[in-house]
């Protein structure tokens, strides 16, 4: 199993991330990484991220709401 993130602009189109991601072997590792770099991703133009396990979408979340928390 591979865990990956997709990065999206405010309009929902895919964008290149400001921080180069990798492929993780666990959901926890992928989520830890996003927790460490979400500010840089947001500043780089990504508004939303979607977590995938292989080809299955697990969830989508706003990086903006993390900034407002």
Task: Read off the pLDDT of residues 18-50 as tens digits, 9 standing for 90 and up.
Answer: 999 989 999 999 999 999 999 999 999 999 999
- Can you tell me whether residue 62 is helix, strand or coil? strand
Is position 64 within any domain? no
Better pLDDT: 2 or 64 = 2
Residue 26 lies in a domain: yes
Rg of the chain in Å (alpha carbons): 11
Average pLDDT, the chain: 93
Give how many domains the chain has, as a whole number.
Answer: 1
Q: Residue 1 — pLDDT band, cuts 50, 70, 90?
A: confident
Whether residue 60 is contained in a domain is answered as: no
Give domain status of residue 32, yes or no: yes
- In angstroms, the Cα distances linking 23 to 4, 10, 13, 27, 67 are 5, 24, 21, 10, 25
Calpha distance 30→7 (Å, rounded): 13
Regarding pTM above 0.95, the answer is no
Range(s) of the domain holding residue 43: 3-52
Residue 61 banded pLDDT, cuts 50, 70, 90? very high
57 occurs within a structural domain: no
């Amino acid at each position: 199993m591979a865990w990956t993130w997709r990065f999206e602009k405010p309009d929902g189109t895919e964008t290149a991330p400001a921080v180069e991601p990798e492929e993780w072997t666990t959901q926890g590792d992928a989520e830890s990484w996003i927790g460490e770099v979400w500010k840089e991703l947001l500043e780089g133009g990504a508004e939303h991220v979607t977590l995938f396990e292989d080809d299955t979408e697990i969830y989508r979340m706003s990086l903006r709401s993390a900034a407002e928390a």
